[in-house]
Amino acid sequence: MKYYVLFGPPGAGKGTQAGSMVERYNLCHLSTGELLRSEIAAGTPLGLQAKSLIEGGNLVPDEVVEGMIESKFQNTKGVNGFLLDGFPRTIAQARALDEMLSKKGEEVTACISLMIPDSLIRERIANRAKIEGRADDARDEVVLNRIDTYHAKTEPLIDYYIEKGKYREIDGVGSIEDVRSRIFAAID
Ligand code: AMP
């Protein structure tokens, strides 16, 4: 099985690129952000717990997202692998992922990192806010907190995957099609 980590700051285009990747490589798309948003929409206890954290631009606890991912690994059949979008987001989550996979005799195949400069993050999120209406895209201070959280807690994963020889950085600036071709070339 293939286990791709789709990495990048908020607004880098992970969700946008995921669709064509899962189709081309027959992967199951696992976006922890989307899974959490559907828990909120369904009004589950987990959704209630996550709502205020997400709407403040903070991360939900590691154990919550780790549990979601593990149960999807167990219950998904008929794919060649998984595309992890927005997970892991902390070093602790990356270690938990390695542990989950090693129990199955598997490992992360590669970390595909979509990189855009900070100046573009806010522009992309402002555009997305008009289209998707996400609560955490609407307020400036929440977006800024997500960017800070990315730098403080998520960016250290770059070195984590470089040290394992699994890090591939893709220039995320350009048209959707151009970025898609770069991703396909890296994976192929
Ligand atoms: P995303 O859709 O990936 O931008 O995620 C939206 C929000 O969901 C994030 O700002 C976090 O509050 C929460 N979230 C998503 N994935 C994770 C994760 N792996 N760990 C902790 N919080 C997460």
pLDDT, tens only, 81-94: 999 999 999 999 99
Which amino acid residue places its CA nearest to atom 22 of ligand 1?
59
pLDDT, tens only, 126-167: 999 999 999 899 999 999 999 999 999 999 999 999 999 999
Q: Ligand 1 centre from 18 Cα, in Å?
A: 16
Q: Does domain 2-180 have CATH number 3.40.250.10?
A: no
Q: What is the pLDDT of residue 128?
A: 93
Of 7, 6, 4, 10, the closest CA to residue 117 belongs to 10
Amino acid of residue 26: N
Q: Which ligand 1 atom lies nearest to the CA of residue 85? A: 3
Block residue for tokens 């522009």: 123
The first and second tokens of residue 4, run together, are: 């791709």
Kind plus residue range of the DSSP H or E element containing 138: helix 135-138
Of 2, 72, 95, 134, the active-site residue reads: 134
- Give the DSSP letter string of 73-85: HHH--S-SEEEEE
> What residues pair up with 4 in beta bridges, in sequence order?
83, 110
Q: Ligand 1 centre from 137 Cα, in Å?
A: 12
Q: Is the CB of 59 under 6 A from ligand 1?
A: yes
Amino acid of residue 81: G
Q: What is the pLDDT of residue 148?
A: 96
Q: What is the pLDDT of residue 100?
A: 97
- The percentage of residues in the chain with a pLDDT greater than 70, rounded to a whole number, is 100
Look up 166 and say whether it is catalytic.
no
Q: What average pLDDT score do residues 174-182 get?
A: 97
Q: What average pLDDT score do residues 58-69 get?
A: 97
Q: Is the CB of 60 under 6 A from ligand 1?
A: yes
Q: What is the pLDDT of residue 122?
A: 92
Q: Which ligand 1 atom lies nearest to the CA of residue 57? A: 10
Q: Is the CB of 11 under 6 A from ligand 1?
A: no
Look up 89 and say whether it is catalytic.
yes
Q: Structural domain boundaries of the chain?
A: 2-180
pLDDT, tens only, 3-29: 999 999 999 999 999 999 999 999 999
The number of beta carbons lying within 10 Å of the beta carbon of residue 103 is 9
